[in-house]
Amino acid sequence: MPHAGTLIRERPLALVLGIALMVCAILVQEVLDLVPLAWFNASSGSRDLLGTPGYLGGFEIAHSILISLYLGLVAGICQELLTLAGVRFICQRAVVYFGLGFSVVDVLLLVVQSIPSFLSLNSYFLFVFTSNIAVEATLHPGSAALMKWSTFFSRARVLGALLLCIILHAGIDGGLVFTDIFSITHRASAEMAGTLYLSVSVIISVALFAAVLAAAQCARQFFEQASLIEHG
């Protein structure tokens, strides 16, 4: 871990670093996301179009669970590994802003993807949009804060925190992929599936963020009190 004097303490700089690392993670994801389809096309001679906006191919429908697991794990591993790499250079007081840098990129992508839907606003779209904002605004800062605090303890704690963040992230992103496929193939149940997925995702993300910040605050107060007693 870098010496305390070399840690980034400026919150805007931490935010920018988070944005830069998130962009790198997404670029790697874009390549890795095509691996299953490339294998499928090479082995079957098909020309399916995984990930093409507005297109749902037979490969995605036939392997919806596997595709969801794979894409979720790719997102979780890429983004959380870079989060762990980045928090080692961030002061704990700026780590939430570092996580928010990841959130900013996700929110900007969400806004761009949602532009056509803004023309036909309805209550369900507003629920989906605000719920996604809530997930992105809490998941990344929560995982960044958790991994930052884990670096003060053993290597096993760091690996445990990384694994937990990858699992939660993979579950949320993979769940989104599965819900999207399910909603297209079961249109009558689309809103129910979307509501259930988003409700669970918001609960997980907000709970992670709140729990990590509460634990960090308790730990800070404990060490401050211990220091006062020691010097009292």
Per-residue model confidence as pLDDT tens digits over 127-166: 999 999 999 999 999 999 999 989 888 899 999 999 999 9
Amino acid (1-letter code) at residue 73: L
Tell me what pLDDT residue 85 has: 94
**pLDDT-based confidence at 29, cuts 50/70/90?**
very high
Could you tell me which residues come within 8 angstroms of residue 92 by beta carbon, excluding any fewer than 6 positions away? 145, 148, 149, 216
Q: Is the pLDDT of residue 53 over 80?
A: no
**pLDDT-based confidence at 116, cuts 50/70/90?**
confident
Using DSSP's 3-state secondary structure scheme, residue 88 falls into coil
How far is residue 188 from each of residues 55, 177, 181, measured CA to CA in Å? 19, 18, 13
Give me the residues paired with residue 113 across strands. Answer: none
**Among 44-48, 139-143, 228-232, whose mean pLDDT is lowest?**
228-232
Give me the residues paired with residue 90 across strands. Answer: 8
pTM summary value: 0.83
Q: How far apart are CA 39 and CA 36, in angstroms?
A: 5
Amino acid (1-letter code) at residue 25: A
